[in-house]
């Protein structure tokens, strides 16, 4: 099979899932300065599957609220609209990839948890507003792999075989076999879903740091560090996958040997949270 360009792939093979109506409407409401929380709750409640997953997330130990939240209305009042938006995105991604291989889902959730830990260190600047938003970056960073494996399963098996043989990472193997990488495809999905330009660029550059704009290098580097932490902890998509890291990435991330050692300990202490979120995703 001849290799694809990104446009050919999207025209002929891969159908990017549309943004769910609930998320589209929430985005529109958040742009309205007169937005009412009751309106947001009504939109979420109108999608029973998303509402259920959102409530399960709100009541998980991961968020540690210490009280049971029994309605979407209560969740919106308690957490605020922007936190709820991140929860709805999470629920939406869970719904979109629940049929994916567990290794994809586990790695995506693990990278989200790692990003949340990194965000608490405050090295990403103002590009990411909260640890909850940072979680979304990790959760979505490899969404392109899910799409490639779904629509090009035979070719993606060849990608896996190349990675397992060693010498190539997933990005390089995808380019050799398919001609399009998961990061480029994932960025296209984030763009279609009208997610933030920061998130779109971070997804698209997390295997190509030099392509990140200077003002977003810190966020991109943090995403690459989160990906790296998961892989060295054995939570990668394959055992042979190791992201390429160099001195410039570590410098842009804002971490040194002392801080990364502490963060690694925090991440390893969060493995139970990853397990809980993995259960919630199904």
**226 vs 23, more confident:** 226
Average pLDDT, the chain: 85
- What is the DSSP-derived secondary structure letter of residue 209? G
- Decide which of 69, 97, 125 is a domain's last residue: 97
- Asked which of 72-81, 137-146, 170-179, 216-225 is least confident by mean pLDDT, the reply is 72-81
CA-closest candidate to residue 3, choices 206, 163, 181 = 181
Same-domain pairing of 24 and 134? no
Q: In this prediction, what percent of the chain has a pLDDT beyond 90?
A: 32
7 occurs within a structural domain = no
Same-domain pairing of 190 and 265? yes
CA-based angle 194:195:196, to the nearest 5? 120
**142 vs 84, more confident:** 142
The residue written with tokens 């494996």 in the block is 149
Q: Which residues of 242-272 are buried (b: 16+ CB within 10 A; e: fewer)?
A: bbebeeebbebbbbeeeebeebeeebeebee
Distance CA 228, CA 118 (A): 12
Same-domain pairing of 136 and 215? yes
Q: How many domains does the chain have?
A: 2
Distance CA 62, CA 94 (A): 15
Same-domain pairing of 128 and 264? yes
Radius of gyration in angstroms for the set of CA atoms belonging to the chain, rounded to a whole number: 18
Q: What pLDDT, in 10s, does the model give residues 99-135?
A: 677 888 889 999 999 999 999 887 777 788 788 889 9
- Decide which of 97, 121, 148 is a domain's last residue: 97
Whole-prediction pTM: 0.88
Find the farthest-apart pair of alpha carbons in the chain and give their distance in angstroms, rounded: 56
The residue written with tokens 């994809």 in the block is 104
Numbers of helices and strands, H then E, in the chain: 17, 0
Please tell me which of 25-29, 162-166, 220-224 the model is most confident about, judged by mean pLDDT: 220-224
Same-domain pairing of 72 and 208? no
Same-domain pairing of 81 and 162? no
Q: In this prediction, what percent of the chain has a pLDDT beyond 70?
A: 95
Same-domain pairing of 79 and 152? no
Per-residue confidence at 63, pLDDT binned at 50, 70, 90?
A: confident
- Sign of the torsion formed by the C-alpha atoms of 12, 14, 19 and 21: positive
Per-residue confidence at 277, pLDDT binned at 50, 70, 90?
A: confident
9 occurs within a structural domain = no
Same-domain pairing of 154 and 278? yes
Same-domain pairing of 110 and 88? no
Residue 1 has pLDDT above 60, yes or no: no
104: its two tokens: 């994809």
Same-domain pairing of 252 and 115? yes
Q: Which residues contact 251 (CB under 8 A, 6 or more apart)?
A: 221
Task: Supply the CATH number for residue 202's domain.
Answer: 1.10.3210.10
Per-residue confidence at 243, pLDDT binned at 50, 70, 90?
A: low
From residue 69, give the alpha-carbon distance in Å to each of 43, 66, 133, 160. Answer: 18, 9, 21, 42
Task: Give the domain extent around 223.
Answer: 100-282
- Decide which of 66, 97, 128 is a domain's last residue: 97
């Amino acid at each position: 099979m001849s290799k694809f360009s990104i446009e050919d792939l999207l025209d002929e093979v891969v159908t990017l899932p549309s943004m769910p109506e609930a998320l589209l409407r929430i985005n529109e409401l958040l742009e309205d300065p007169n937005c009412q929380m009751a309106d947001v709750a009504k939109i979420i409640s109108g999608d029973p599957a998303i509402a259920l997953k959102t409530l399960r997330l709100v009541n998980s130990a991961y968020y540690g609220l210490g009280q049971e939240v029994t309605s979407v209305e209560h969740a919106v009042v308690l957490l605020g609209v922007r936190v709820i938006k991140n929860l709805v995105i999470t629920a939406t991604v869970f719904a979109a990839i629940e049929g994916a291989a567990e290794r994809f889902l586990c790695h995506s959730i693990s990278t989200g948890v790692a990003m949340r830990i990194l965000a608490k260190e405050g090295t990403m600047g103002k590009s990411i507003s909260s640890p909850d938003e940072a979680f979304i970056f990790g959760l979505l960073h490899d969404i392109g792999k899910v799409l490639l494996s779904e629509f090009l399963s035979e070719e993606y098996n060849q990608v896996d075989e190349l990675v397992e043989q060693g010498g190539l990472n997933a990005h390089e193997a995808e380019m050799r076999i398919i001609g399009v990488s998961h990061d480029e495809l994932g960025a296209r999905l984030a763009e279609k879903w009208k997610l933030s330009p920061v998130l779109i660029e971070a997804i698209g550059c997390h295997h190509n740091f030099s392509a990140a704009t200077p003002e977003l290098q810190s966020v991109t580097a943090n995403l690459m560090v989160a990906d790296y932490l998961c892989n060295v902890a054995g939570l990668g998509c394959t055992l042979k996958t190791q992201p390429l890291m160099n001195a410039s990435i570590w410098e842009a991330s804002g971490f040194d040997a002392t801080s990364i050692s502490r963060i690694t300990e925090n991440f390893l202490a969060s493995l139970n949270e990853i397990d809980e979120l993995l259960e919630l995703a199904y």
